Amino acid sequence: MKISQKEEFNERLLSWYHQEKRDLPWRRTSNPYYIWVSEVMLQQTRVDTVIPYYERFIESFPTMESLAEAEEEHVLKHWEGLGYYSRVRNLQAGVKEVVESYDSKIPQTRNEILKLKGIGPYTAGAVLSIAYGVPEHAVDGNVMRVFSRLFLIEEDIAIPKTKKVFEQRVMEVIDETDPSSFNQAIMELGATICTPNPRCLLCPVREFCAAFEEGKQDELPVKTKKMKKKVVTIRSFAISEPGGKWLLRKRPSNGLLGDFWEFPQIEDSPALEISESLKNETGLLIEQRQAYTQFKHIFSHVTWLVEGVHAVLLDASPIPEGYRFFSEEELELLPKSKPMSKLLEQLKK
DNA sequence: CAGGCGTGGAT
DNA sequence: TATCCAAGCCT
């Protein structure tokens, strides 16, 4: 596509968008905070998955002040099952910053909004353009896929610096009168038409598309990186005490499943001496019962082979720092990871 | 920069 | 079953 065709391109794109766009909850509001929440939830997450979470979250935390004041555990419970849990801790931290340091007004320049926790280049552009009408690029995976085809850009989108190429190109093409609709229209196109297996015959702008012109739409975008996943064996100890309570510990804030409570567990230990390993790593003294369950859980970058072991705590055992007993009722209120939920499900059998 | 960070759906 | 994702950000 030539830049001289910009006006005609935007006319086609935007009229298609206004006619075909999906009716989504965050498209029914102009509240910048709600837009912010939706954009964070949508990071690496499908629209259909996000919708119910978004509705519940906004209902429970209708204002930035209400989110800023909420208990982290309560907030995390609203994110349970969505994944990438650091997103919600960063969101709350960012909202607190806005409430406390910006008089509850979200900054309206890229440099300022980028300072907020959890707001990166994409989310900055998305909030600025959608909530405030600022002509800023918001380049995500959709935009790179669509633009790589429109302009026949064959650079590897798996390499971080490649994104700059797309950000520049967006700024050349963006509709200055309605940057909100422009950014959303490109993403909508990527999500519904210009998908990995594109449906070019339905595309409103195919006559501007260099890849379609040359029949290369199926070869773009170029993306090289492949994920290799580690496999880790996890032995998880469901330790009960006479009162029927379960002994849990809190995971560190950083890293996988940050701040989640879990059964004490050890990684990659020889099966024969697992009680000894647990004692070495945690100080806990237990009497092991029989292994009661075994399953696999696949995270984005690591696979856990989980073996759940039932055990009772010996009277002589110390309770290490950071460990707590939970009744069944208390357990219900905790945010739980998928592996934790699977273990509990098995426990009830 | 490379790698860590969840989950459920599509192929 | 295996793979790759889907509106990225942080360190």
CATH of the domain at A105: 1.10.340.30
| Residue A349 to residue A343: CA distance in whole angstroms | 10
Statement: the CB of A122 is under 7 Å from strand C: yes
Q: Which positions in strand C are less than 7 Å from the protein's CB atoms?
A: 3-11
pLDDT value at residue A20: 94
pLDDT, residue A242, reads 73
Q: Are residues A156 and A100 in the same domain?
A: yes
Residue A181 and residue A101 share a domain: yes
The answer to whether strand B lies under 7 Å from the CB of residue A88 is no
One pLDDT digit (tens) per residue for chain A, 349 residues = 666 799 999 999 999 999 999 999 999 999 999 999 999 999 999 999 999 999 999 999 999 999 999 999 999 999 999 999 999 999 999 999 999 999 999 999 999 999 999 999 999 999 999 999 999 999 999 999 999 999 999 999 999 999 999 999 999 999 999 999 999 999 999 999 999 999 999 999 999 999 999 999 999 999 987 777 889 999 999 998 878 899 999 999 889 999 999 999 998 776 667 788 889 889 999 998 876 788 899 888 899 999 888 899 998 999 998 899 999 899 999 999 999 998 888 877 7
Residues of A taking part in catalysis: 39
Among candidate residues A160, A188, A219, the one where a domain is terminated: A219
Q: Residue A29 domain-assigned?
A: yes
Domain match, A151 and A300 both: no
Does residue A231 lie within 7 Å of nucleic acid chain B, judged by its CB?
Answer: no
Q: Give the pLDDT of residue A100.
A: 97
Residue–nucleotide distance: A123 CA to C6 C1' (Å)? 15
Residue A287: CATH number of its domain: 3.90.79.10
Among A181, A196, A219, give the residue marking a domain's end. A219
Residue A211 shares a structural domain with residue A252: no
Residues 155-214 of A with CB under 7 A from strand B: 159-161, 197
Residue A225 located in a structural domain = no
- Sign (positive/negative) of CA torsion A135, A139, A143, A149? positive
**What gap in Å lies between CA A302 and CA A184, rounded to an integer?**
33
Asked if strand C contacts A43 at the CB level, meaning under 7 A, the answer is yes
Q: Is the CB of A90 under 7 A from strand C?
A: yes
Specify whether A112 is located in the same domain as A180.
yes
Cα separations (Å) of A16 from A12, A169, A290, A349?
A: 6, 21, 62, 53
Which bases of strand B have any atom within 7 Å of the beta carbon of a protein residue? Answer: 1-9, 11
A235 & A179 share domain: no
CB A248 within 8 A of CB A263: yes
Which residue, A194, A219, A244, sits at the end of a domain? A219
Report if residue A331 sits inside a domain: yes
Which structural domain, as residue segments, surrounds residue A264? 230-347
If one counts the domains in chain A, the total is: 2
